[in-house]
């Protein structure tokens, strides 16, 4: 799961869905806070899951909580100022200590990109994907940050293949090829589909299934408005944009 | 990656290797058996030696992804796949019979035989497309006919699945396909249009019915691209007795712009199975190729195959269904017939690619052979057709989108169901009579159709009011006077 962005309803929906589908391990690709109105609940929940064996990575919004040099858009900056005032010392410490990358067997998990730390480049096209796959030799790389699902692969002819995953359809990621899976966002989808997005990886079958989970967007938007955050942050959730 | 050579008598993961069936540049195919599986099977293994075509391995991986996801009689049943790192292979059902390639010796074939064959392949393509796959290599050697009659499409090495990454899509210098059969858009590198398969089938039917390949067998890209602007001689130029309806169908399949072909394989099959309902256009009469200036103009115009559609492979079928409307002619101006027409109009409004088959069942006694003339001596069959057309008139459907069929059968529901199955109907629309004691006793036609139909059924009813207010209407009829509804 990537880019939860303090969206409690979306995270709850995804956690329920993943549990029902028998997920055995959770990996969170960062950006727990920012934009949304539930940073405290979200960070607290993730801390609890990490204590039970889940993995979590640092995202640029998580970094911005303590790193004032982190550059954000105007709206994100407004939300970040508010978020800083909400989070307690435990949450701040948890976020400050998150790792930039996690390696697990042949898999590499990152928030944004693989080339350099803390530059948070977007892997949003073929060229960026090709550069990212050249930068590291991991067989399968998983990232978020873009908020739009995509799969990139290198075929037997050394060519890059780009693909838009379809919700609920398992896509083979055979171990003899290299893959880069860009997850959609749990808490702020931007691909025109407002449903929360996450993915299930079946390491035995070597398949990834992207999933879309509907959640109570109205409740989330109402909280954003009530917190006095920019209206556009509430509005964009309904449009998935 | 495994590179062990497979030899007859070897055992690979429990599969005993038998006779070598095929050895080509891309793959080797063996007959195999397994102690636990009592069926004829084939093992297909990619050619992996040095200098092997990289497309061979990419194609094999595509087939390994696609085949296990396909179901139905038009696909060889997938049995197993080998671990790619150890020994890549696919084991599948050995489809009984021989590929259509064997027909090549007998060309040209009779028109009826080619049309029947074409209809079977069109149905198989429709099944494939509805499962998100464009075959992209439809040709005689990739088509088998089961003893039960269904066409089977084999070899998914060049196929495109619209819900899976397309490993073939990128940067192979030449478009992959088989030169005589490749659709123009495929030549230009577009791999996601299901109507490309229809073009290949059009080439196949042209070839089988005339003995001549419409575009020859070009070996270079420039020769392949010629089909974007150069039209082949109309079949009637090669065989003067070539039926108009068949030329119409084949030339429509061979349209350069995919949008001018049939919207779905099922609609193509429908035309091939109903020659008398084919709408004849200028295509059917042509005896010559287009003039030099017309061809020249096309040569330098924009690429007509540039993809313009939005949607997926499978959504094509859902946007262009075949809708069968069963109409009870005893009440042709009554409220139910009107309601039926309103419902059909509403369905058609959102589906510009849909076509409508208007049905009426002419009841025949089981034992006595009914006379075809009614009491006043009119031909019942013709009269019914006239009435069906009259019913459909207000729908304002252009010719080619609507057809009329009088089915002669002793039992209405059976006749409608048989028609729906034979013509791959997607949606049946029919009326239900007001309740009657008789219907309760015998069961309703619409109820029976809805229970057994292979597709969606819409049962249209006029609003019914409480019995206490209105009671049974005066229009109640007995089952004997029932035609359809």
Co-location of B223 and B278 in the same domain: yes
Q: What is the pLDDT of residue B481?
A: 38
B485: confidence class by pLDDT, cuts 50, 70, 90: very low
Co-location of B224 and B244 in the same domain: yes
Q: Which two tokens stand for residue B461?
A: 């009813």
Interatomic CA distance for residues B330 and B337, integer angstroms = 10
Determine the residue among A157, A171, A212 to mutate to test chain B binding: the one whose Cβ has the most chain B Cβ atoms within 10 Å: A157
Smallest CA–CA distance from A167 into chain B, residue: B163
Q: How far A20 CA sits from the closest chain B CA (Å)?
A: 24
Determine the residue among B163, B174, B315 to mutate to test chain A binding: the one whose Cβ has the most chain A Cβ atoms within 10 Å: B163
Contact A187, A36 (CB under 8 A): yes
| DSSP label at residue A159 | -
B373: confidence class by pLDDT, cuts 50, 70, 90: low
Q: Which of B61, B23, B14 has the alpha carbon at shortest distance from B5?
A: B23
User: Mean per-residue pLDDT for A189-197?
Assistant: 96
CATH number at residue B55: 3.30.200.20
Question: What topology is assigned to A8-239 in CATH?
Answer: Purple Acid Phosphatase; chain A, domain 2 (3.60.21)
Lowest-pLDDT range of A169-178, B221-230, B303-312: B303-312
Q: In chain B, what residues touch A169 (CB-CB under 8 Å)?
A: 163-164
User: Mean per-residue pLDDT for A180-202?
Assistant: 97
3-class DSSP state of B58: helix
Q: pTM for the full model?
A: 0.84
Lowest-pLDDT range of B62-76, B135-149, B449-463: B449-463
* B156 found inside a domain: yes
pLDDT reading at B229 higher than 90: no
State which residues form the domain around B162: 100-316
Whether B254 has its CB under 8 Å from any CB of chain A: the answer is no
> Is A172 in contact with B65 (Cβ distance < 8 A)?
yes
A11-33 pLDDT per residue, tens = 999 999 999 999 999 999 999 99
A62-82 pLDDT per residue, tens = 999 999 988 899 999 999 999
User: Mean per-residue pLDDT for B229-247?
Assistant: 95
* B1 found inside a domain: no
B257-261, B305-309, B476-480: range with highest mean pLDDT? B257-261
Contact B149, B295 (CB under 8 A): no
Of residues A144 and B57, more confidence is placed in: A144
Of residues A117 and B30, more confidence is placed in: B30
Cβ neighbors of B375 (< 8 A, separation 6 or more) are none
**b/e per residue A154-164 (b: at least 16 CB within 10 A):** bbbbebbbbbe
CA B230 to chain centre: 27
Q: What is the pLDDT of residue B467?
A: 58
A129-133, B2-6, B338-342: range with highest mean pLDDT? B338-342
Whether B151 has its CB under 8 Å from any CB of chain A: the answer is no
B304-346 pLDDT per residue, tens = 666 555 467 777 667 889 999 999 887 777 888 999 999 999 9
Give how far Cα B350 sits from Cα of B38, B166, B316, B321, B353, Å.
Answer: 49, 31, 13, 11, 9
Co-location of B288 and B165 in the same domain: yes
Contact B126, B153 (CB under 8 A): no
B10: confidence class by pLDDT, cuts 50, 70, 90: very high
Contact B206, B250 (CB under 8 A): yes
> Is A151 in contact with B55 (Cβ distance < 8 A)?
no
Structural domain count of chain B: 3
B478: confidence class by pLDDT, cuts 50, 70, 90: very low
* B228 found inside a domain: yes
Interatomic CA distance for residues A138 and A154, integer angstroms = 12
Contact B401, B360 (CB under 8 A): no
For residue A161, give the nearest of B54, B84, B166 by CB distance. B166
Interatomic CA distance for residues B460 and B466, integer angstroms = 18
Contact A64, A70 (CB under 8 A): yes
Q: How far B130 CA sits from the closest chain A CA (Å)?
A: 15
B389-402 pLDDT per residue, tens = 999 999 998 888 89
Co-location of B173 and B312 in the same domain: yes
Q: What is the pLDDT of residue A3?
A: 98
CATH number at residue B208: 1.10.510.10
Co-location of B303 and B337 in the same domain: no
Cβ neighbors of B200 (< 8 A, separation 6 or more) are B135, B137, B138, B139, B181, B182, B183
Place of tokens 């065989």: B239
Co-location of B312 and B343 in the same domain: no
Domain termination residue (choose one: B296, B316, B336): B316
Domains in chain A: boundaries: 8-239
Co-location of B465 and B343 in the same domain: yes
Co-location of B130 and B202 in the same domain: yes
Q: In chain B, what residues touch A176 (CB-CB under 8 Å)?
A: 1, 84-85
- Burial environment of residue B357 by CB neighbours within 10 A (0 to 12, 13 to 18, 19 or more): buried
């Amino acid at each position: 799961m990537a880019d939860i962005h303090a969206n409690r309803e979306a995270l709850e929906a995804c956690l329920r869905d993943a549990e029902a589908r028998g997920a055995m391990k959770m990996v969170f690709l960062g950006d727990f806070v920012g934009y949304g109105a539930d940073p405290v609940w979200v960070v607290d929940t993730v801390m609890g899951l990490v204590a039970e064996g889940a993995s979590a990575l640092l995202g640029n919004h998580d970094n911005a909580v303590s790193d004032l040099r982190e550059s954000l858009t105007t709206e994100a900056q407004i939300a970040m100022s508010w978020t800083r005032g909400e989070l307690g010392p435990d949450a701040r410490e948890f976020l400050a200590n998150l790792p930039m990358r996690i390696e697990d067997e042949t898999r590499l998990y990152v928030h944004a990109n693989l080339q350099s730390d803390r530059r948070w480049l977007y892997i949003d096209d073929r060229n960026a994907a090709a550069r990212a796959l050249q930068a590291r030799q991991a067989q399968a790389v998983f990232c978020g940050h873009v908020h739009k699902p995509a799969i990139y692969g290198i075929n037997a002819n050394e060519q890059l293949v780009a693909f838009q995953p379809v919700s609920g359809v398992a896509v083979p990621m055979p171990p003899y090829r290299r893959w880069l899976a860009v997850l959609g966002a749990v808490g702020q989808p931007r691909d025109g589909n407002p449903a929360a997005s996450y993915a299930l990886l079946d390491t035995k079958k070597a398949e990834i299934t992207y999933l879309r989970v509907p959640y109570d967007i109205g409740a989330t938007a109402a909280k954003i408005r009530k917190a006095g955050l920019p209206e556009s942050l509430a509005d964009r959730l309904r449009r998935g944009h | 990656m495994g590179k062990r050579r497979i030899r007859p008598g070897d055992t690979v993961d429990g599969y005993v290797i038998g006779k070598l069936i095929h050895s080509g540049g891309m793959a080797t195919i063996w007959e195999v058996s397994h102690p636990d599986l009592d069926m004829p099977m084939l093992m297909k293994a990619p050619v992996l030696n040095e200098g092997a075509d990289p497309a061979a391995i990419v194609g094999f991986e595509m087939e390994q992804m696609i085949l296990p996801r396909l179901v139905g009689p038009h696909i060889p049943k997938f049995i197993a796949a080998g671990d790619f790192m150890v020994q890549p292979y696919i084991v599948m059902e050995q489809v009984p019979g021989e590929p259509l390639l064997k027909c090549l010796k007998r060309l040209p074939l009779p028109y009826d035989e080619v049309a029947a064959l074409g209809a079977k392949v069109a149905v198989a393509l429709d099944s494939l497309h509805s499962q998100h796959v464009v075959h992209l290599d439809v040709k005689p050697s990739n088509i088998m006919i089961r003893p039960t009659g269904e066409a089977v499409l084999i070899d998914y090495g060049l196929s495109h699945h619209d819900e899976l990454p397309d490993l073939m899509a990128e940067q192979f210098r030449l478009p992959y396909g088989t030169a005589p059969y490749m659709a123009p858009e495929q030549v230009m590198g577009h791999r996601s249009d299901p109507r490309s398969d229809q073009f290949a089938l059009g080439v196949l039917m042209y070839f089988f019915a005339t003995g001549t390949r419409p575009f020859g067998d070009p070996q270079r890209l420039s020769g392949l691209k010629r089909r974007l602007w150069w039209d082949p001689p109309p079949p009637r130029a090669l065989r003067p007795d070539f039926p108009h309806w068949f030329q119409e169908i084949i030339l429509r399949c061979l349209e350069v712009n995919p949008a001018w072909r049939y919207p779905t394989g099922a609609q193509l099959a429908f035309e091939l199975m109903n020659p008398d309902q084919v709408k004849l256009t200028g295509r059917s009469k042509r005896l010559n190729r287009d003039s030099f200036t017309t061809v020249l103009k096309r040569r330098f115009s924009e690429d007509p195959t540039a993809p313009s559609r939005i949607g997926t492979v499978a959504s094509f079928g859902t946007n262009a269904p075949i809708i069968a409307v069963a109409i009870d002619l005893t009440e042709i101006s009554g409220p139910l017939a009107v309601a039926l027409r309103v419902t059909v109009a509403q369905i058609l409004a959102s589906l510009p690619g849909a076509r409508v088959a208007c049905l009426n069942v002419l009841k025949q006694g089981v034992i006595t052979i009914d006379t075809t003339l009614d009491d006043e001596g009119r031909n019942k069959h013709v009269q019914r057709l006239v009435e069906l057309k009259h019913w459909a008139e207000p729908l304002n459907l252009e010719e080619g989108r609507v057809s009329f069929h009088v089915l002669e059968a002793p039992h209405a529901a059976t006749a409608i169901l048989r028609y729906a199955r034979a013509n791959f109907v997607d949606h049946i629309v029919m009326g239900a009579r007001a309740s009657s004691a008789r219907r309760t006793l015998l069961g309703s036609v619409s109820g029976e159709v809805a229970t057994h139909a292979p597709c969606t059924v819409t049962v249209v009813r006029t609003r019914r009011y409480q019995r206490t207010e209105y009671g049974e209407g005066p229009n109640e009829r007995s089952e004997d006077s029932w035609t359809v509804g």
